[in-house]
Chain A
């Protein structure tokens, strides 16, 4: 267990591991995204009230779910970085922020596009949209803080503190915003209670959520690999790698 932990701290090991994971995860992600989209868009029945416009949930909901989960991944990486001072955790945390911000942005834009036919307006200050907007602010705050520090090791620690503060605050923000305004449809997917969404719509949605998790993982690993190479550019193993590629 402990040796595994130490291995995760080693850049070349992580670089090779992520390479071999991506080799099979990347094609699977692409196939899953395409298959899920086709399933959701072509092979499900239209909603009896919203017609076909509801189909945007196959992008909107997974993006929102993974964006929120991404913040917690970032905070966990931050905690590891603060407690065990692991450089690779710094890199993982730094890589999470722009991906999470992009997913949050996708969720906001698709929500807005969905809102136009449903509510007749591009933007409604409803609880979930507002919460997503605040989540976007939280992500952008982390990016801004990281960029403001010149010493990148300290930047990562500062961002780790900020994202941990965020994890404590996100439930409070969500609950308060939820309470502040509840105009949206009641939460539809509940694994414990009775589901109000038809299984024929639910399964492609769950499938797309998994596909988005895979997408997040791929983006995270690609981002981390780029950062590892940049940080370790002077080391022998990166030079060897570059020489290998250059030689071919």
Chain B
């Protein structure tokens, strides 16, 4: 039950048990043929055209720039256009430490991303606070405020490690249910319940 993506062989990934258990869980109650095929088609498109949000706070951002430059060239795998507005991006890659003053801004950026959206914690600081874990104003990992899909350890991760992490996200997207998976109306209701200010403007 392999999940194949174009750029890397299934056997070369190191944590296939995880993705297999995810697939088994998702398909436990079976899939409608029509919806299943449509899902495959849409997910094929989504996984090969992931647009990141330019969001770097420290060292990892420089490695991300190297990822965009000619030698590593992330455009090969479809992470083509780094967007500067969260409204046009598919995922937020948190590159660097998140501190107390920044936390509300990060949350806001995440909320501004259009659904379906993903979060990658890139580098030791975003994963766990890294070397600054004991500081008085550093978040011990961005997962304290955002739901993280992929963790990329490293300080900073090498560009190859970043690719590995991004491909994990591609695999995750490939097995997701786009149709009928999430109750978006429910989600919107929950959002406005927790944000009364925004609900007033609607």
Instruction: Say whether A and B bind each other.
Output: no
Which residues from chain B sit less than 8 Å from chain A, CB to CB?
none
Which residues from chain A sit less than 8 Å from chain B, CB to CB?
none
